[in-house]
Structure 1
Amino acid sequence: MSTAEITAQFDDLRARRNAIVLAIGQALYGSATVIMFTTAGLIGVQIAPSKAWATLPISAFVIGTAVSTIPAAMLMRAIGRRPGFMLGAFAGTIGALIGVYAIYTRDFQLFILATVLQGVYQAFAQHSRFAAADMASPAFRPKAISWVMTGGVAAGLLGTSLVMFTTDLLAPVTFAGCYAAMAVICTLAIGVLAFVDIPRKEETVSAGDTRPLAEIVKQPRLIVAVIAATLSYGMMNLVMTAAPIAMIDCGFTTTTAAWAIQWHVMAMFVPSFFTGQIIARVGAERVCAAGLLLLAAAATAGLLGISFGHFAVNLILLGLGWNFGFIGGTTLLTECYRPAERERVQGLNDFAVFGTVAIASLTSGKLLDWFGWASVNIAVYPTVVVALSLILWIMLKRRRRAVAN
């Protein structure tokens, strides 16, 4: 690779500007997602054929993400990051408008379509964390990823506030106002993402600087990175999807549930202000391990009681665990591929993540309906044990290699 190519590849000044734009885009996308996660299960309770299918809209959202991740990655490779992000936000706008109509007509199948399109939006938006790393030097990369994730702090405040203020905006049709607000947010995101400044891959790297995908995915660190991110996201989704419905079942109001979700989302993203620095200091593996332990602590809090305090602590610890586990796994993944390989690996990673999350969200409703809130939390423990064992394995593997050298 020539000096000019290296200069184009690593440009921390542009990476900082992009991280700021992407953080704003992440705040808008996150707000739309918070609205959907807070209300979709409750809407499902109202219009689904049975309560057991109440979380199907959220599952459809995640399935929409899973099936769109690889096409989104390939499309961004062909047309570039900026138009890809804008196209994703446009899908979100259409999905939100369909959602308004579906709620008015109590059409459950049409509401499923609305959440699928929101999932397509997420498939593109999830590339924000990778896009932040595209131009960043190895030293700045964890911080760039972390900066983008801080957009979720604004999402936690804006999204849940909008739920509270727009739930009855279009009364007597509950929640239709939430999806009208979502349409406005997605439209604003299209304008913000027009300022993304990332050259297409062909302009910065040699097309021949690639390895076969089969060779890439055999790397132990890549396997563990994908599993850590997948299980962190999956278990967070499993519990968070069921939490608002469980709270309503326990006698809490929609507003109270929205407050708990707000604290959860804040816990998911506030640590992003310093997660990058922690990773730079202690390593991605240790941060992932800490996140998984926090997920186990969240499950324990959920098993100890059903007061508002128990739900709040459960959701706060769940958010913290997701932040450390998911950002740590994402950072670990960026160490396992070359620039020319990024879209294929990122698409494969997100397909694994959101395929698992789709299963988790659908399982969440079934577990809650059949066995209760406790069963949702108990399901967290086995996955934490598996992921922690794999992280310990690669840490010991690295230590043995260091001793041998």
Structure 2
Amino acid sequence: MTRLPSSTYVLSVCQAMNLTAAVVSVSVAALAGERIAPSPGWATLPYGVQFAIVAILTYPGALFMRQFGRKAGFLLGATMLIAAGCVGFVSVEHASFVGLVTSHSLLGAYVAFANFYRFAAVDNLSMELRPRGVSLVVAGGVLAALIGPWLSIGLGSAEGYAPFALCYASFVGIGMVTMALITVWRPIPAIPVKAASDLMVVRQQMTAPIAIAIFASASAYMIMNLLMVQASLVMDSMHMSFDASTLAIQGHVLAMFLPSFVTGLIVVRLGFRFTLCGGFILLMAATLLALIGIGSFGNMLSGLILLGVGWNLSYIGGGALLAKYLTDQNRHRMQGINDSVIAICATVGAFSPALLQTLIGWKNTNIACFLICAIGLILAWRGTRRAALG
């Protein structure tokens, strides 16, 4: 079997740094905001602004890298992460809420660039290696699932510093490691090709497989965020212990990223059709467990694990399908559109759980998610039957 180039492994570690920062951020943002916000209702504003900045800057970030190159974009993103750490540390130490919002805005700018690591891994890569390249980069989340909570717990209440100040300071170290990795990273050289005509470029834009790839990744991300966050609220209402709910979420996060080591091979062996359909079926199974009953920890844990694995297959399968149909002429534009849609859907998934829990409850939320997955399953089955590797 052909080996992946060393540049792919560098990007996998960069992705681990990206997701480590994300785990630390989600762990402390609301708690830090609650301490220094003008009122409790503003506590989640910094994290909300972070998501909004990701959605706003993702497409411009893709255009920036088209003009100046991947390396320039990733180095700019790492600089933003370092700045976010410095501003966040000072803001928490001096109880500046405006500064905290600024820190998360800078963090969002970093994420807008870092989300393209998985696509940079397949630039100029042979077609048969692209699914494995996307999969390996996403697998960096396994390291993040182990390091992120350790950093948050270990630095959250360090003596001599304001609570969570050192958590933000850790972004400086993560950013410096990322900058060093990107500095030594060597993209795969492009193979010269004949320039396409303007008409050909237009025809190579939004095709059915590309639309299905975007829908698969974005809908899976929205459903995963929505049900993961709402599950935390449900477990709290069931008076489960913090340790038990934390174990369930950790199991979910590991289920999201551990399969990445083999998902690329699954795409190669089974194809896009069965990978995407398998992802949507697992997501549907997760919602069905919730409809059967929520009376036990085992039920919640099983549902969250199915949710994580289903997300993995749908998200990586969608990314690999997108990579197959992109060309040098349209890749930056389509990758920008893809990740902008994902960012918007992830934002909806992150901010709607409490509202949906109040308005329609856990079971009805799962019914709605089941219907979205059913649509995805039909689209994947009918729209990818001709999408074969090679």
| Aligned position for 1:155 | 144
Q: Distance in 2 between matches of 1:373 and 1:93?
A: 39
Shift in alpha-carbon separation, 1:243–1:121, aligned structure 2, 3 A: farther
| Aligned position for 2:83 | 94
SS at match of 2:127: coil
Structure 1, unaligned runs of 5 or more: 1-11, 400-405
1:194 aligns with 2:183: yes
1:330 aligns with 2:319: yes
1:176 aligns with 2:165: yes
Shift in alpha-carbon separation, 1:44–1:360, aligned structure 2, 3 A: farther
Q: Which amino acid aligns with 1:279?
A: V
Displacement after TM superposition at 1:134 (Å): 0.8
| Aligned position for 2:376 | 387
| Aligned position for 1:231 | 219
Q: What is the identity percentage for the equivalent residue pairs of Structure 1 and Structure 2?
A: 33
Structure 2, unaligned runs of 5 or more: none
1:269 aligns with 2:249: no
239-248 or 269-278, larger mean C-alpha shift:
239-248
* Correspondences of 1:198-237 after superposition (within 5 Å): 198=187, 204-206=192-194, 208=196, 215-237=203-225
Shift in alpha-carbon separation, 1:373–1:54, aligned structure 2, 3 A: farther
| Aligned position for 1:353 | 342
Q: Distance in 1 between matches of 2:172 and 2:358?
A: 31
1:34 aligns with 2:30: no
1:240 aligns with 2:206: no
136-145 or 295-304, larger mean C-alpha shift:
295-304
| Aligned position for 1:402 | none
Q: Is the 8 A contact 2:75 2:179 kept in 1?
A: yes
Q: Is the 8 A contact 1:206 1:340 kept in 2?
A: no
222-231 or 75-84, larger mean C-alpha shift:
75-84
| Aligned position for 1:293 | 281
Shift in alpha-carbon separation, 1:205–1:274, aligned structure 2, 3 A: same
92-101 or 123-132, larger mean C-alpha shift:
92-101
Displacement after TM superposition at 1:186 (Å): 2.4
SS at match of 1:298: helix
Shift in alpha-carbon separation, 1:314–1:160, aligned structure 2, 3 A: farther
152-161 or 335-344, larger mean C-alpha shift:
335-344
SS at match of 1:261: helix
Q: Which amino acid aligns with 1:135?
A: N
Displacement after TM superposition at 1:248 (Å): 4.9
Q: Is the 8 A contact 1:96 1:182 kept in 2?
A: yes
Shift in alpha-carbon separation, 1:374–1:160, aligned structure 2, 3 A: farther
1:67 aligns with 2:56: yes
Displacement after TM superposition at 1:130 (Å): 0.8
Q: Distance in 2 between matches of 1:175 and 1:220?
A: 46
SS at match of 2:214: helix
Calculate the aligned-residue CA RMSD, in Å: 3.0
Q: Distance in 2 between matches of 1:199 and 1:148?
A: 15
49-58 or 353-362, larger mean C-alpha shift:
49-58
Shift in alpha-carbon separation, 1:121–1:379, aligned structure 2, 3 A: farther
Q: Which amino acid aligns with 1:226?
A: I
Q: Is the 8 A contact 2:221 2:311 kept in 1?
A: yes
Q: Distance in 2 between matches of 1:60 and 1:290?
A: 34
**Among 50, 54, 68, the residue aligned to 1:79:** 68
Q: Is the 8 A contact 2:284 2:374 kept in 1?
A: no
Q: Is the 8 A contact 2:229 2:353 kept in 1?
A: yes
Displacement after TM superposition at 1:307 (Å): 4.8
Displacement after TM superposition at 1:260 (Å): 3.4
Q: Is the 8 A contact 2:214 2:318 kept in 1?
A: yes
What is the count of residue pairs matched by the alignment?
A: 385
Q: Is the 8 A contact 1:299 1:377 kept in 2?
A: yes
Q: Distance in 2 between matches of 1:54 and 1:195?
A: 39
Shift in alpha-carbon separation, 1:214–1:395, aligned structure 2, 3 A: same
Q: C-alpha deviations, 1:322-358, integer Å up to 9, x for none?
A: 1100000011111222123211111111111112222
Q: Distance in 1 between matches of 2:373 and 2:335?
A: 23
Displacement after TM superposition at 1:224 (Å): 0.9
Shift in alpha-carbon separation, 1:38–1:240, aligned structure 2, 3 A: farther
Q: Distance in 2 between matches of 1:240 and 1:85?
A: 29
TM-score calculated relative to the size of structure 1? 0.83
Shift in alpha-carbon separation, 1:104–1:336, aligned structure 2, 3 A: same
* Correspondences of 1:132-151 after superposition (within 5 Å): 132-151=121-140
Q: Is the 8 A contact 2:92 2:100 kept in 1?
A: yes
| Aligned position for 1:9 | none
| Aligned position for 1:260 | 248
